Structure 1
Amino acid sequence: MMAEKTISRRTLLTALAGTGTVALIGCDPAGSRQAGAATPIPDTLLVEVDGGLGVLRGGERLTIPHAVAAPDGQAVYATAPDGAGTAFWRIDTATGSASTRVTVPGQWLPQSVSADGTQVALTSNAANATNGRPDGRDVTPVLIADVTGVRHRFELRGNFVPEAFTTDLAGLFVLEWLPARAPDRYRVRVVDLATRAPGPLSTRLKTPVPPGAEEEMRGDGRQAVLAPNRTTLYTLYTHQPDHRHTRDLVSGRPGNAHAFVHTLNLVERWAYCVDLPHPFGEAPASGHAMAISPAGDRLYVLDVTSGHVAEISTEELVVRRTATLPPASGASHAAVGHDRLFVGTGTEVRTLDVERLSAAAGWPVREPVTGLVLSPDGRRLYVGQKNAVSWHDSATGEQLGRVEVPGLVVLHGLAGRA
């Protein structure tokens, strides 16, 4: 199991590249395999480069232009135009084997995979829960499919974007953008797949949110992290001045949260926001990062611009500790193991002792960091960089290997293992 399951606030539409002499061994509009990487990568990785989603495995790369990965990285679901319809299929990331393609009527793109990796929500356009504001529209077509074909097909009145499934697969969490034709804010709702009707979430006390008390968000959704047990989705939001949570709207308090972690329970359908202390949310969103512990009991949020770190108890949903680091500039990325928290900013990777929540060590890398991923045993730290992925001894920082990945945007996480 990966030490960190992270869903970047970009869509997992990725493509891969290798190093050395590359021989094309298969190519079609929906995906290709290439081989010839000079140094095999020890673990299978999901990466994003310009144009698609990809799997980097050993000395081979698999490129898929229109695809989305399951939360655990075990599978990728892909689509491709097929006449008047859309071909849809599943790829096993451990072996590269693909399911039989099924054709569904209409033109669709995959947006979200259920936590168990079996069902996919698709929409008719590229707008998704991680890439910003959608275009205005009055109606949103939605398709739910698995490897056998269509499970549900319906239209939602308004401007909706799928985000996640309920654990029992009976509901679909969506972002409803308001107003529909000129969206400038959104709220999280859940669609009952039996009735196809969207409705409000529950509070943490499992009571329905009263009418008029659904919180609406305008800021930046920086990053989302799925709990290791796949029951809770945590999303970091920044730049939310004067934001009012549901609890503020119910109580009449004014509210003024600049940054918080939106906690979405996929089993019981409730949401709760954990406010982050000042100065979180004041600096650029790209300088914020989040990582969850392997046990899922601690969530770490960082703002490298101010140098602040917050540790959240996922059981209590409160900030338990804070610490400071020397501030830095630029985009930040994080990964956490059993005893160390890794922070990548610019051309440096820093480590923190999670027991003391204090700086431990650090080491330089060649190019600016574009993602951090720990190996399953915690011994290797993969570092995405400009056009490359390197891997290091997680205890010492010694570089153990490196492959070129032209066009790399983000190193996302671990893929499946055979």
Structure 2
Amino acid sequence: MTVTISRRGILTLLAGAGAGAAALAGCEPTRAPASARADAIPDPLVVHVDDGQALLRGTDRRTIPRAVASADGAWIFATALDGPDTTCWRIDATTSRASARTLLPGRWVPQAVSADGTGVALTRTGATVDGGRPPGREVTEVLVADVNGIRHRLDLRGNHVPEAFTADRTGLFVLEWLPATAPDRYRVRVVDLATGVPGPLSTRDKSPVPPGAEEEMRGDGRQAVLAPDRTVLYTLYTHQPGHQHTRDLVSGRPGNAHAFVHTLNLAERWAYCVDLPHPFGEASAAGHAMAISPDGGRLLVADVASGAVADISTEELTVRRTVPQARGTGAAHAAAGTDRVFLAAGTTVRALDLTSLTGTADWPVPEPVAGLALSRDGSRLYVGQRDAVSWHDAATGRELGRVPVPGLVGVRGLAGSA
């Protein structure tokens, strides 16, 4: 399954249950009045709402305020306050079965779930990888747990925010904010869970990064997508004037990247940045969006303000071409299928041929778009709008149905495993 969601969505997708309501204790469905319900949604969908994350399944809407899930939405770790402590349990989003609850001493907030859904990292605060600058602190407490209880308890010197687990679950990628008590920039590091010691990533050729050559970032992490095989995390960064990659710091060359795709290999623990050409990164971060092809071979990055789509080879980690498009305004969104890529900004959805990246159709929608998601068979395109989600024939754009979603903030993706 291809996942194309926001950066926080890679780590906090929520899913839930349709038939097994008892499995989601404390997460009762909120149903629209019968007169307002137009259709039952065909695929379970995860969305942001004002009061948290919600699952749309059929005619049900379920909200879980304190939860985090695997990147494909198949497994969810949910938490609830229990006096001075926290209870934690795992939900199978496909079957709605829930594990027994585990008591974690103290107050903890879930942050990141391993790609296989077996482990979760929690911290004391709600600072997230895409939540902007965290408050200053000298030590970060991190708890790593699974359905059987606590596996690691770490006291990391410095200001750290968990981002993702390594593929083998022996390490935890974190954003380390610098300086710790008054942060204004950050770098990506990996913590060895056995020792609790953070260290630098490797370069693309698996060489250790020399001291002083770790990249430090100040810009916006706009969006992330996970490779279909769950081994690589791609994050789109914008507004990075004067930024120097590790390769620039090692070689002594000047750097001035305004936008790039940070490639993090979760299996081999190396990172590499693919620079995007001018004018990517010059306009608002919200006007940029990224999607990955279902086979994982191509990343498509759109800048609607300048009217351009960059086609990146994930094997070569280079921009193969940049194709001009009609310019747009507003927040950008993208979703890719086997033969088309869909871009949206404002009240327009555009379908592009995946091979040529030329437009095949523009579809108007009534409200500004707040997210796109494609059904697994590629036949339906879900479009978030103001207080509603509609779905359309992906070939023609014809609206097939619509459900009201009061307080909708954005569409995150499909729920459950493929």
Same fold (TM over 0.5): yes
Deviates more, 1:60-69 or 1:294-303: 60-69
* Greater displacement, 31-40 / 172-181: 31-40
CA contact (8 A) 1:38 1:403 kept: yes
Instruction: Determine helix, strand or coil for the equivalent of 1:286.
Output: helix
**AA at the equivalent of 2:300:** Y
For residues 14 and 136 of structure 2, the distance between their equivalents in structure 1, rounded to whole angstroms, comes to 26
Correspondence for 2:247: 247
Pick closer, same or farther for the CA change 1:28–1:6 going to 2, 3 Å: closer
How far apart are 1:90 and its partner, in Å?
1.4
Gaps of 5+ in 1: 19-24
What is the one-letter code of the residue matched to 1:92? D
Indicate whether 1:384 and 2:384 are aligned.
yes
Cα shift at 1:369:
0.5
Counterpart contact for 1:113–1:120, Cα < 8 Å: yes
**Aligned residue for 1:393?**
393
Partner of 1:234: 234
Paired amino acid for 1:69: A
Judge conservation of contact 2:166–2:266 (CA < 8 Å) in 1.
yes
Q: CA deviation at 1:26?
A: 8.0
Q: Which amino acid aligns with 1:45?
A: L
Distance 1:119 1:383 in 2: 31
Deviation at 1:53, TM superposition (A): 1.7
- 2:406 match: secondary structure: coil
Q: For 1:24-35, what aligned pairs fall within 5 Å after superposition?
A: 30-35=26-31
1:146 to 2:142 alignment: no
Shift of 1:15: 10
Distance in 2 (CA, whole Å) between partners of 1:214 and 1:30 is 44
Q: For 1:287 and 1:161, how far apart are their aligned partners in 2?
A: 26
1:256, 1:60 → 2: CA distance? 48
Q: Which amino acid aligns with 1:182?
A: A
Tell me the distance in 2 between the aligned counterparts of 1:132 and 1:417.
30
Alpha-carbon distance in 1 for matches of 2:324, 2:158: 43
Structure-2 separation of matches of 1:71 and 1:364: 30
Amino acid at match of 1:406: P
- Evaluate the alpha carbon distance shift between residue 84 and residue 388 of structure 1 in structure 2; reply closer, same or farther with a 3 A threshold: same
How far 1:28 moved relative to its partner?
A: 9.4
Shift of 1:347: 0.7
**Within-5 A mapping of 1:110-259:** 110-259=110-259
What's 2:306 paired with?
306
Conserved? CA contact 1:15–1:50, under 8 Å: no
Contact map agreement 1:187 1:214 (CA 8 A) in 2: yes
One-letter code aligned to 2:390: S
Question: Cα offset for 1:49?
Answer: 0.8
Residues 282-297 of structure 1: pairs in structure 2 closer than 5 A: 282-297=282-297
Shift in Å at residue 399 of structure 1? 0.4
Task: Measure how far apart 1:76 and its partner are.
Answer: 1.8
State the Cα distance separating 1:366 from its structure 2 match: 1.3
For residue 9 of structure 1, report the CA deviation from its aligned partner.
4.3
Higher mean alpha-carbon deviation, 36-45 vs 305-314, is at 36-45
Partner in structure 1 of residue 375 of structure 2: 375
Cα gap change, 1:368 to 1:302, in 2 (>3 Å): same
Describe the superposition over 1:227-276 as per-residue Cα deviations: whole angstroms up to 9, x where unpaired.
Answer: 00000000000000010000000000011100000000000000000000
- Equivalent residue, structure 1, for 2:3: 4
Cα 1:57/1:162, change in 2 over 3 Å = same
- State whether residues 388 and 405 of structure 1, in contact with CA within 8 Å, keep that contact through their aligned partners in structure 2: yes
CA distance in 2, matches of 1:211, 1:33: 52
Distance 1:28 1:291 in 2: 31
Instruction: Write the deviation string for residues 160-205 of structure 1: whole angstroms up to 9, x where unpaired.
Output: 0000000000000000000001100000000000110000000001
Over the aligned positions, Cα root-mean-square deviation in angstroms equals 1.9
Between the aligned partners of 1:389 and 1:133, the Cα distance in structure 2 is 31
Q: Tell me the number of residue pairs that the alignment of Structure 1 and Structure 2 aligns.
A: 410
Amino acid at match of 2:334: A
SS state of the match for residue 77, structure 1?
strand
Question: 1:28 & 1:263 partners in 2: Cα distance?
Answer: 35
Partner residue in 1 for 2:315: 315
Per-residue deviation, 1:101 = 1.1
Q: Is the 8 A contact 1:15 1:51 kept in 2?
A: no
**TM-score normalized by the length of structure 2:** 0.94
**Deviation of residue 377 (structure 1)?**
0.3
Residue 21 (structure 1) aligns with: none
Give the Cα separation in 2 of the matches to 1:69 and 1:51: 17
Q: Is the 8 A contact 2:7 2:235 kept in 1?
A: no
Q: Letter of the 1:398 partner, please give it.
A: R
Measure the CA separation in 2 of the matches of 1:195 and 1:80.
Answer: 29
Aligned equivalent of 1:52: 52
Assess if the C-alpha contact under 8 Å between 2:339 and 2:353 holds in 1. Answer: yes
Paired amino acid for 2:3: E
Identity %: 67
Could you tell me the TM-score, scaled by structure 1's length?
Answer: 0.94
Which residue number corresponds to residue 272 of structure 1? 272
Kept in 2, the 8 Å contact 1:13–1:48? The answer is no
DSSP-derived class of the 1:78 partner: strand
Query: 1:127, CA displacement in angstroms?
Result: 0.1
Could you tell me how far 1:31 is from its partner in structure 2? 2.5
For residues 132 and 345 of structure 1, the distance between their equivalents in structure 2, rounded to whole angstroms, comes to 23
User: Secondary structure of the residue that 1:68 maps to in structure 2?
Assistant: strand
Structure 1 residues 137-165: Cα deviation after superposition (integer angstroms, max 9, x where no partner): 00100001111111111110000000000
2:316 is paired with a residue of what secondary structure? coil
CA distance in 2, matches of 1:125, 1:381: 36
1:27 Cα deviation after fit: 12
The residue number in structure 2 matching 1:336 is 336
One-letter identity of the residue aligned with 2:245: H
Q: 1:28 to 1:4 in 2, by over 3 A?
A: closer
Specify the code of the residue in structure 1 equivalent to 2:5.
T
Partner of 1:33: helix, strand, or coil? Answer: coil
Cross-structure match for 1:347: 347
Name the counterpart of 2:409: 409
1:29-54 deviation per Cα after TM superposition (whole angstroms, max 9, x unaligned): 95222346541111111111112122
